Structure 1
């Protein structure tokens, strides 16, 4: 959901036959998951991604670059003018180079090596191919640079060129989602310790706030107070767990 920005309706139900954990229902946008907790009941939750605006760096000072800034802001992006040599932030989503031959290579190489999801070079097909061929990067990274940037919609004016670039970004959005790319230099996510609630069978993340009881055999963790109280009333009933 965070990767694509799509909304969905999550149904949490004790029913065992849900087609598998996280299975999608025949109803479009509905995802059903099983919850074996003894509290029972079915809960529908509408989840809507509320993500920060995509951050776009635009390089250049010509009319096309100015149009990229204006159109990007109208579309809700955080579009900012940038200069070659300026450090790239780890949360950068878009780089569009419209410098018309000035300092292009350095910007494209840095963006490709940093893993920026969308990189576009505004250039003719012939010049764009020549620029890509001269970049000191791997073929895999070179293939991620879009040139001529934008969809072929017959654009002529700076505003139309900017529109074609953002149309391509929107079309590729599921593939270039921010959540699919780890930030440069970020550490691997820490593993979270888990245990199984002996009453309902749910997997419980062990945190300082997780409910638990200390027994001679060790500590037992629970998903909620209902399971904790049920276990405390008759521990022998759950000895099999």
Structure 2
């Protein structure tokens, strides 16, 4: 008996309905997992799908929804959807008994091997939210978070616990921790990471990006300080510094001769867009191109441009404030001196404290604390005289 050309009122078997597909999309987006939408855009009977029927294909090729009930068509859709996800580009496919009848520019044709014949054309749209992690509470970091709000990205701003609430859009996720493992666990896998704490906890941001398998870790720092931050990050992770260095892009951002925090943020955002469009920058060719480009324009020292050249061991240029030992604050409370940068620190409000040799040392930022922990004897010897 011939197949009814109008047939599609039959039950959809185990396929999800539109509401279920939407719920699955929400779940995948919440988990940050890429997937592809498959939508029927043309049909010729006899097929059991209508124009507008849709399904979701996960990254591992599982198809949920309805694009026709025959396994041969579904297998083609699932496989091509996986290819679309991997490439990050949409595609239009046609499935027909004779692929030549639907083959045309912009469409990939495949044979319909089902006994019922019929023709299907299906649009495959990969969906992948970009997770942008901005590390730091600096003017550059806050500007970048505000600008990125205009893009289809999920923005997480990482700040030290106790910092004032930053001025960022309401949709920004503010993460108040500088522990690399906690940051990596909170943001999920393969985020795009920009580290711009201006020496406060840059090494920890770099370490978090490495732990999260970030395809891009951009560091806003001078060449000299970038080398120091990479070494600190390697110490935090107990890894080879060269391996960490290969994962870091410095100078970060597109060279636009930026000077102000907003201009630096714009250059960083341009690079984020480029990274997202390319999908990954971890191949050797891309790294070589970035290095060549940096050499061509002589690099750009973001610290100089932004007015923050944190060039000393702890990443902070606090100047010579005359504090050589324990001091007393204006309110009479005991104060301590950060042994790395020499800044006066209130022990009750210190960003970090470290026990060494029976003494407690207090620090203005986590960067100084990390430097101290890497070579405590050296800094203690400098303080004792």
Deviation digits for residues 89-144 of structure 1 (CA, Å, limit 9, x no counterpart): 32451221111111221221232133122211111233224433554234344312
> Which of 155, 173, 198 in structure 1 is aligned with 2:258?
155
Count of matched residue pairs? 169
Aligned residue number for residue 143 of structure 2: 67
1:144 pairs with one of 227, 240, 247: 247
1:112 — aligned with what? 210
Could you tell me which residue of structure 2 aligns to residue 125 of structure 1? 223
In structure 2, do the counterparts of structure 1 residues 16 and 69 end up closer, same or farther at CA, with 3 Å as the change threshold?
A: closer
SS at match of 2:86: coil
Aligned partner (choices 144, 151, 154) of residue 78 of structure 1 = 154
- Equivalent in 101, 104, 108 of residue 31 of structure 1: 108
Q: Paired residue for 2:280?
A: 176
Q: How far does residue 31 in structure 1 lie from its aligned partner after superposition?
A: 2.3
* Larger Rg over CA atoms: 2
Q: Which has the higher helix share?
A: 2
TM-score normalised per structure 2 = 0.40
**What secondary structure sits across from 1:112 in the alignment?**
helix
Deviations 1:16-35 (A, max 9, x none): 779xxxxxx7724x222233
Distance 2:96 2:231 in 1: 55
Q: 1:152 to 1:125 in 2, by over 3 A?
A: farther
Q: 1:141 to 1:34 in 2, by over 3 A?
A: farther
State the alpha-carbon separation in 2 of the partners of residues 31 and 164 from structure 1.
38
Q: Is the 8 A contact 1:8 1:46 kept in 2?
A: yes
- The one of the two structures with greater contact order (alpha-carbon pairs below 8 A, sep at least 6) is 1
Q: Unaligned 5+ residue runs, structure 2?
A: 1-83, 160-177, 282-385
Q: Secondary structure at the residue paired with 2:149? A: helix
C-alpha separation in 2, matches of 1:108 and 1:15:
54
Distance in 1 between the 2:153 and 2:139 partners? 19
Secondary structure at the aligned position of 2:126 is classed as: coil
Secondary structure at 1:36 match in 2: coil
Q: What runs of 5+ residues in structure 1 fail to find an aligned partner?
A: 19-24, 178-241
Cα pair distance change 1:44/1:107, threshold 3 Å: same
